[in-house]
Amino acid sequence: QPEPDDLAAGLAEVGLPLQRGARFGTAGGANDKGMAVTWLRERLTRELGERPLLYGFGDSYNDAAMLRAVDVAMLVQRPDGTYADLAIDDVEHLDGIGPAGWCDGADVILSIRR
């Protein structure tokens, strides 16, 4: 089985950057979650006639682009209780690992929307 750095180098040679997640890596080409958020925002703005407020939850490096693209970025704890070290301004650190963190984020959204 190849080492992670060897795998990343091999994928890069064929134009597929490796994005590391909390448990898995993704070879996704020239797209990322931030581009998906931008695409979604454009479509919703056209459909709704106004710019929607978008929230994002993440816990790893492959979530960074998505968290930069949303209006309210929330970082969930990783399985070891730490937070991914992402260079994102105004990110809210949620209490709870995995699903418990997502639930905390849902509570934040519901309290903002009231």
Q: Do residues 72 and 22 make contact, with C-beta atoms less than 8 angstroms apart?
A: no
Looking at residue 49, what is its pLDDT? Answer: 96
pLDDT tens track for 26-57: 676 667 889 999 999 999 999 999 999 999 99
pLDDT band at 114 (very low <50, low <70, confident <90, very high): low
> What does pTM read for this prediction?
0.73
Task: Supply the Cα-derived Rg of the chain in whole angstroms.
Answer: 16
41 Cβ contact partners less than 8 Å away, ≥ 6 residues apart = 51, 52, 54, 69
